[in-house]
Each structure stands twice: as C-alpha cells, then as structure tokens.
Amino acid sequence: MIEAWAVRIPKRQGEERRQELIRDGFIAGNLRPQADGDDLLIPVTGSPPGTERALFKQMQTAPPLPRHEQVGGIAIMQENDPRGAERILAARPSTHTVLYAEGAVEGEFRTKTFSVLAGTPTTRTCYLEYGYRFTIDLGSAYFSSRLSTERQRIRSMMNDGEAVCDMFCGVGPFPITLANRAGWILACDKNPHAIHLLIENLATNRTGNVLPMLGDAARLGEIFGERFDRVLMNLPLIAHQFLRTAAILTRPGGTIHLYALQEREGEYEDEIRSIIPDSTITERFLRSYSAGRWHAVYDIRRDL
C-alpha cells in the first residue's frame, strides 16, 4: 500500500469527478481508487484544497495509450493511427468509437470532419457532466468538454432568478448547467442541428426555463434589447465581433462573458473598452490551445 493525497467524493459522482481530474491533469494514474463507505477516495498528485491522506494499492502499469480526448463514448485521437485506435477501444470498455479529426473547426457552424478509426461508425454519443446528460453529435454541432469547470464557475457567480442569454448555445451545456439558478435563459444558435440536440437535451434533463431560438445572434439586440443580467459569448474565434449586440442585450450592472482565443494578454481589452467604456473587466486564462495561443475569458461588468 502507498500513502498519497486523495479527493473524497460520493460514489454516485465518482466517474464524473474522475474524468474531470483526468482532464485537469490531477489524477495519480498509478494508484487504484479506493472505496470508503458511501465515498470514493481518488488518488491525486499534489495536495489541492479539500484533499486528505489515504492508502492506495499500486496499479499494474500498462503501456500508455496514444494521445486522445475522451468525450462520452468517443475517443478523439490526435494522430491518424488505426492500431492505436484499436488499443484505446480494447482498453476502455465504455468507448464505442475512436475518431480522428481531419482538420480544424471550420464553416458557419464550427464543425469538424472526422474519420472513424475503430468501433461504431458514428459521431454521436452521450456525455455526462456534473449529473447532467447531453446527447452530442461532434460531426454536426460543436461541443467542448473542456469547459466543464468554467460552466460551474459561471453558475457559482449567479444570483438566483437571473435572466441569461447564451448567444451561441450549441447543444446546451451552459444553459442546462445554469438553468436551476436562472429565472429564464434564452439559448440561441444559428445551427439547426445544434438547436435540435438542445431541445432533446432540455427534455432529457427536464429543464423547463430555457427558450431555444434558431437564429443569428447579431439580430438579438433588435428583438430583445436590454433585458439580461448575464450574457454568454462562447464563440472564441469571432465572439468579439458581436460585442455591440451583447452590450445592447445587457442591463446596467449585468455581466458579459466573452470567450476568446488570443496570442497576448489583454488582446481584446482595448476593443472591449471602446464598445463598453463604462465597464469593469477581469481577464482569466482557461487553457492552452496551440503554440503561443490560449483560450481566455473576459468577465465584463457593465457599470452603467
């Protein structure tokens, strides 16, 4: 037995939290999680807040799997490696498909083209996040599992009863996560496949205060005006182009969350101040995206 730092979580949340720890790079992969009554002790590296010391059995080390991202039952490989895909499929019983992305996000609907390397020929899967269940189709509507912690951060910032607008909602991860804190949420996207999946996910999660809208986010200011306490702009490549509309949608004292890919700190701050001069701006690093480029979010509080 080996003593190590551990995160204690209820068993019913075990797999979701384990996947989150894997994504964040905290899990100690050489040690086996341990049951303790109704809880599960998951071994982690370092000693982040909320950890404790526990004894674990060491796992037999297997050859490392090829680099990939796990999204529900789909593994997305970084290399076109059919043999590696078969290894992933054999090592992970819950994985039904291994894909290879043939290019970057492109087109009006921010989608990727995939080839199937192993398993069931599909881009559709079910993804679990903090107790919510999402049906996604990676080939027809953009989805990122890497913002799960960010969705929880936004939820923790909210006051009960807020009116929220998600200008680029996709299949609904932000609206469904925030719904039980909000008064109501407008969820807009111009991709009909995304809206179709959003409606399916609203029904699955029994979410009744989200209004799906198929449309162009640039027109929202003409339709709704200054009605929302919080506006989400998760379209990192071009969201800044919609800032004027977001400013029209946001009440004084409300907050805009602008997500962006950038090459230098504060890259969009001058543009934000030129459009929303009376504002308080907080910039946060989210994750590395590529060499010299990272994913950031600007929390913009509209003061007047």
Most confidently modeled range among 3-12, 41-50, 62-71, 77-86? 77-86
Q: Average the pLDDT over 272-291 and give the result.
A: 93
pLDDT at 90: 93
Of 29-38, 81-90, 97-106, 146-155, which gets the smallest average pLDDT? 29-38
3-state secondary structure of 238: coil
CATH 3.20.20.140 assigned to 145-302:
no
Write the single-letter amino acid at 241: Q
pLDDT at 161: 97
Q: Within the chain, which residue ranges are assigned CATH 3.40.50.150?
A: 145-302
pLDDT in tens, 144-186: 888 999 999 999 999 999 999 999 999 999 999 999 999 999 9
pLDDT at 21: 76
Looking at per-residue confidence, does 261 or 304 come out higher?
261
CA neighbor of 202 nearest in space, from 141, 261, 134: 134
Q: Average the pLDDT over 23-32 and give the result.
A: 78
The sign of the dihedral angle between the CA atoms of 236, 276, 280, 163 is negative
pLDDT at 62: 67
List the structure tokens of 239. Answer: 């969201």
Mention every residue, 6+ apart, whose C-beta is less than 8 A from residue 243. 233, 256, 258, 271, 272, 275, 276
2-56: what fold? Alpha-Beta Plaits (3.30.70)
Residue 82 above 80 pLDDT? yes
In the CATH hierarchy, which top-level class contains the domain 68-122?
A: alpha beta
Q: Average the pLDDT over 29-47 and give the result.
A: 85
Residue 61 above 70 pLDDT? no
What DSSP assignment string belongs to 91-129?
H-TT--EEEEE-S-SBTTTTB--EEEEEESS-SEEEEEE
pLDDT in tens, 91-104: 989 999 999 999 88
CA neighbor of 137 nearest in space, from 146, 127, 147, 128: 127
pLDDT at 110: 82
By percentage, how much of the chain surpasses pLDDT 70? Answer: 98
Per-position b or e across 242-266, b if 16+ CB within 10 A of its CB: bbebbbbbbbeebbbbbbbbbeeee
Looking at per-residue confidence, does 200 or 33 come out higher?
200
Q: Within the chain, which residue ranges are assigned CATH 3.30.70.2580?
A: 2-56
Q: Within the chain, which residue ranges are assigned CATH 3.30.300.110?
A: 68-122
pLDDT at 269: 97
Looking at per-residue confidence, does 30 or 60 come out higher?
30
Looking at per-residue confidence, does 230 or 51 come out higher?
230
Mean pLDDT of the chain: 92
Q: Average the pLDDT over 203-213 and give the result.
A: 98
Helix axes 14-24, 148-157, angle to 10 degrees: 110
Mention every residue, 6+ apart, whose C-beta is less than 8 A from residue 222. none
